[in-house]
Structure 1
Amino acid sequence: MADDVQHYFDPHMYKGSENVELVTGYLAISAGLLTFTLINYAAIKIGPAHYMKGDIWRWRNTLVSWIHAVLVGTGVLYFLWIESVFGVDLVLFCEPGMYMLVAFSLGYFLHDFADHLVNNKLFSNYEVIIHHIGVIWSFWYNVHYQMYIPYTIIALMVEVNSVFLHARKLMQLNQWSFNHWLYKFVIVLNLITFVGFRLYGVYLVGKYVYIIWDKFTVVYQVFIVITMGVMYLINPILFWRLVKNDVIRNLRSSTMKSQQIGHVLNNNAKKDLNDESSHTH
C-alpha cells in the first residue's frame, strides 16, 4: 500500500509533514542568518593576523564559510551514520533535527550571498553566485514545503570536505609553510574528503535526482538541473587544481631539490677528487 502511495505521489498536492512546524523552519533560517552575520561582524572587528597575506575580505569570507562547514558538516556526519539517512524516504521523511539543519544552512547561504553583494563580489565570483542562487531556492523550497530533507542532507555532504578545503585556504592566507606537518595533514585530508564526500556526494545527488525525478515539481526540476550542472562543472576543475598545486607541484619541487642536492654533492666530490690529485702530485 505504501508503495502505491509513493508511486502516485504528487508534489503539488502535498501539504507538509506532521513532524515539524513551518515556523520552526523559518526560525532556524533566521538563526543561521543571524549567527553568520554576527560571526562576520566579529571577524571584521577582530581582523586578521598582522602577517596575513592577501585580500582581507577573502580571509573573512573564508573564515565564516569554514565555521559553517564545521557546524553543518558535523551535523551531516551524525545524520549519515547515526540516523542512517540513506535508509529513509528521501522525499517525505522529515525529522526535526534534519529539518532545522537544512534551514540553518540556508541562513548561511543567504548571508554569504548578501556578503558578496555588499562587497561587490557578485561578478568576480559568478560561478559561486550561480550555485548559491540554485541552493537558496531549492533549500527554501525544501524547508517551506517540508519535502526532500534527507536528499538535501546528502547534498550537504560536500560541507565535510569544505572543512579542510577552507582550512587549507586560511592556512595559505596566514602564510603557513607548505612543509609544515599540519599543512600537509590538511592537504591529505582535503584530497581524501574531496573524493569521499564532495565528488561522491555530488554523484549521489545526481543519482537520486534520476531516481525521484517524477516526484519533483517542474520548477524544482529546472533549478536542480542548473545547480547540478554548476556542481558537475566546478568540482572536477577544482579537484584538478588541488592535485596540480598540492601533489604534482610538490613532487616536482622535491625532484628538483633532490637534483640540486645531487648536483652539489657531485661538484663537491669532483672538487675533493681534484684536491686529492693535486696533493698527490
Structure 2
Amino acid sequence: MDVTSTLVAVGGSACSFKVLNAVVRSLPTPAAARDKSWKWRNTSTSLAHSALSGAGALSCFYLQPPMGKDLLYFYSDLSHTLVAVSTGYFIHDFLDLALNKHLKQSWEVLLHHSMVISCLGFALKSHVCLGFAVVSLLVEIHSVFLHIRQLLLLSGRKKWPGSQTAACRPSVVYRITSWLNLGTLAVFRVGTLCWMTRWLTRQTQHLPLYVLMLGTAGLSVISTMSLVLFYRLLRADILTNTSDKRQN
C-alpha cells in the first residue's frame, strides 16, 4: 500500500469514527448518562474501535502468524489496513478529547494517544515492525470490557435496580463485566506488553537505533499507565467492595 493509499485509509478511518460518534449522538441516551452525553458518545465510539481492532488483530495472527524476527519486516494488506484504521481512530479520539475536555482531565489519555499514533504511524510509513504494531492491538481486547464497564457506570447499572445505598452489592452484569475486565487486562494488556518488552529486548541487535528508542519510549509510557489502570480498577471494583462487606 503506497503513501497516498495509507493516508486515505487513515483519514477515512478518522472521518468514519467521527460519523459514528454523530450517529451515537442521534440515538437515545440513558437518563442517567444525559448529564455526561459527550462521555457516553466517546466511550461508545471507543468500544466500536476496540471490538473491531481486537478482532482484526486476532484474525491477522490466525491467518498468517509472524514469529520472532518476522515481526520486524512482516507485512500483509490486512495488517496494514488494520493498523491504518486504528491510527485513524486514535487521531479522531485525540481531537475529540482535546476539543471537549480540559487538559488537566485528559492529559494522561492524550499522552497515551500521542505515543500510540507515533508508533503506529511509523510502522505504517516505514513498514518496519508492522507485525509488532498488530501485536499491540491485542490490548484492545481488554479495552472492550473496559469500555463496557464505563458504559454501565454512566448508565447507572452498577447497582441492583432500586438500590440507593452507597455500599449495596453491584449488579450481576457489572460484577461479570468487572471480572472479565480485570482478567483480560492481565492477559491481553499486561501479558501483551510484557511479551512486547521481551521481544524488543531480544531483537535489539536487529533493530535500528531510532526504532529501538521509539519502541522503548512507547512501551515505557503505556506499560506504566497500564499498571496504574490496573491498580485503579482493582481498588474500585475489588478492594472497595471487600471493605464495604467487612463494614457491613
Is TM-score (shorter-chain normalized) higher than 0.5?
A: yes
The yes-or-no answer on 1:131 pairing with 2:112 is: yes
Alignment check: 8 A CA contact 1:93 1:149 kept? yes
Corresponding residue to 1:42 among 11, 16, 23 = 23
Match of 1:260 in 2: none
Letter in 2 for 1:49: P
Comparing 165-174 with 31-40, greater Cα deviation is found at: 31-40
Alignment check: 8 A CA contact 1:158 1:201 kept? yes
Alignment of 1:168-183 (within 5 A): 168-178=149-159, 179-183=170-174
Match of 1:242 in 2: 233
Letter in 2 for 1:154: V
Q: 1:88, CA displacement in angstroms? A: 6.9
The yes-or-no answer on 1:27 pairing with 2:8 is: yes
Alignment of 1:219-230 (within 5 A): 219-230=210-221
What secondary structure is seen at the aligned counterpart in 2 of 1:238?
A: helix
Distance 1:223 1:130, change over 3 A: farther
CA distance in 2 between counterparts of 1:129 and 1:187 reads 25
Q: 1:118, CA displacement in angstroms? A: 1.8
Alignment of 1:83-232 (within 5 A): 83-86=64-67, 89-178=70-159, 179-232=170-223
Match of 2:167 in 1: none
Q: 1:174, CA displacement in angstroms? A: 0.3
Distance 1:181 1:83, change over 3 A: farther
What secondary structure is seen at the aligned counterpart in 2 of 1:91?
A: helix
CA distance in 1 between counterparts of 2:223 and 2:32 reads 36
Alignment check: 8 A CA contact 1:51 1:174 kept? yes
- TM-score of the two chains, using structure 1 as the length reference: 0.77
Q: Deviations over 1:251-271 (max 9, x none)?
A: 2333434xxxxxxxxxxxxxx
Match of 2:224 in 1: 233
In the alignment, structure 2 segments of 5+ residues that lack a partner are 160-169
In our comparison, the structure showing a higher alpha carbon Rg is: 1
In the alignment, structure 1 segments of 5+ residues that lack a partner are 1-19, 258-281
Q: 1:198, CA displacement in angstroms? A: 0.3
Q: 1:220, CA displacement in angstroms? A: 3.5
Match of 1:66 in 2: 47
Letter in 1 for 2:229: L
Q: 1:80, CA displacement in angstroms? A: 3.3
Match of 1:12 in 2: none
Q: 1:193, CA displacement in angstroms? A: 0.4
- TM-score of the two chains, using structure 2 as the length reference: 0.87
What secondary structure is seen at the aligned counterpart in 2 of 1:90?
A: helix
Letter in 1 for 2:13: G
RMSD: 2.1
What secondary structure is seen at the aligned counterpart in 2 of 1:125?
A: helix
Letter in 2 for 1:74: A
Letter in 2 for 1:252: S
